[in-house]
Structure 1
Amino acid sequence: MASITIIVMGVSGSGKTLVGQHLAQALGRTFFDADDFHSPENIRKMASGRPLLDPDRQTWLNDLAQLLQNERGCVLACSALKKSYRDFLRAAAGPIVFLYLKGDFDLIWPRLAQRQDHYFNGSDMLRNQFEQLEEPAAAEAHAVDIAQSPEAVVADCLSRLEATV
């Protein structure tokens, strides 16, 4: 399982970073956050409340694919909203397990609204992410219900990973 990359995916505010950090620590792996790979232009666009479009994301996806090629076996927190993005990353970087942190707008918005010092701006941005989200099929990703405590989400992810390999 050490060479299999783990991508913790979902809309903004679903807990990708927190869960990904805990998984990386529990598994002794390196953690990366895809947010750290956005260009300054993309960050400015999101901070102004404008959602990213596919062309905005292409360089970001290319950078993430390169990262995954160089850091096989890492844990990456990444929205991976569309199937085409997940397919691109999988094709570029080999074996990947996706963990989909699943929750609805009413669960996630209050969490996101409490964030401080993050460029992701406003409920309209979150609504846009839900509109863009192409939920992965069961064969593509393990869906994990985020209505439970963060500790339970991490434990659920770990048990799903154990069952995968």
Structure 2
Amino acid sequence: MAARPSFPQPVTAIVVMGVSGAGKTTIGRALARRLDMAFIDADDLHPPANVARMAAGLPLTDADRAPWLARVRAAICDARRDGRQLVIACSALKRCYRQAIGGGAADVRMVWLTGAPELIRRRMGARQGHFMTAAMLDSQLATLEPPAPGENIPRVDVDATPEAIVDRILADLFPGMRTRLAEF
């Protein structure tokens, strides 16, 4: 494993956001490995009732999401308190959700994984054992509030290899880094 890079500004968490099937977990894990950071899949923080709703094909409401978002934010706050760094895979579909988990903190960076709905639907159909079904993609796309320019969240297309996507994320999130990103 390469040494952890020295970021131009402190980083506690990098949130990899997007709809289900965009590759948040795959890319988040690869990014965490590359940066020698811990990885958390926010899906693991959902209360059992949320998982049951989604498995039944029912979209979550904002009220359903509130305790989940609080758990994601708590993970970030715990990491900050303990001096740890995290990569978190989290849908963060609405601006208010992004505010709830990151609170606009400068040490929390986000990146938006996006792609053609047909590609994402195909990927969702190919995976097994996940509670979120391909049928739920339409509700996620309807809920998604694309990041506004003022949010400073880079958009990264997922129609590439995981390695190329991670390279793009690093280049977009940390353009001022002078070191060769490929070494990480």
Cα-to-partner distance string for 1:92-151 (whole Å, 9 max, x where unaligned):
86521111001121110000001101111232x100000000000234201001112222
> Which of the residues 67, 85, 91 maps onto 1:59?
67
Partner amino acid for 2:19? V
Residues of 1 paired with 2:104 and 2:38: CA distance?
Answer: 19
Question: In the TM superposition, what are the counterparts of 1:37-76 in structure 2 within 5 Å?
Answer: 37-72=45-80, 73-76=85-88
Aligned to 1:99: 111
Indicate yes or no: 2:122 matched with 1:110: yes
Structure whose alpha-carbon radius of gyration is higher: 2
Indicate yes or no: 2:157 matched with 1:145: yes
Q: 1:149 to 1:120 in 2, by over 3 A?
A: same
Q: Secondary structure at the match of 2:149?
A: coil
Partner amino acid for 1:71? A
How far is the alpha carbon of 1:47 from its aligned partner? Answer: 0.4
Q: 1:164 to 1:128 in 2, by over 3 A?
A: farther
Q: Secondary structure at the match of 2:118?
A: helix
- 8 Å Cα contact 2:11-2:109 kept in structure 1: no
Question: In the TM superposition, what are the counterparts of 1:2-81 in structure 2 within 5 Å?
Answer: 3-72=11-80, 73-81=85-93
TM-score (norm 1): 0.93
Residues of 2 paired with 1:18 and 1:164: CA distance?
Answer: 26
Indicate yes or no: 2:102 matched with 1:90: yes
Mind listing any 5+ residue stretches in structure 2 that lack a counterpart? Answer: 1-6, 178-184
Q: Percent of pairs identical after alignment?
A: 41
Aligned to 1:129: 140
Partner amino acid for 1:161? L
Residues of 1 paired with 2:104 and 2:77: CA distance?
Answer: 7
Residues of 2 paired with 1:106 and 1:17: CA distance?
Answer: 19
- 8 Å Cα contact 1:9-1:80 kept in structure 2: yes
TM-score (norm 2): 0.84
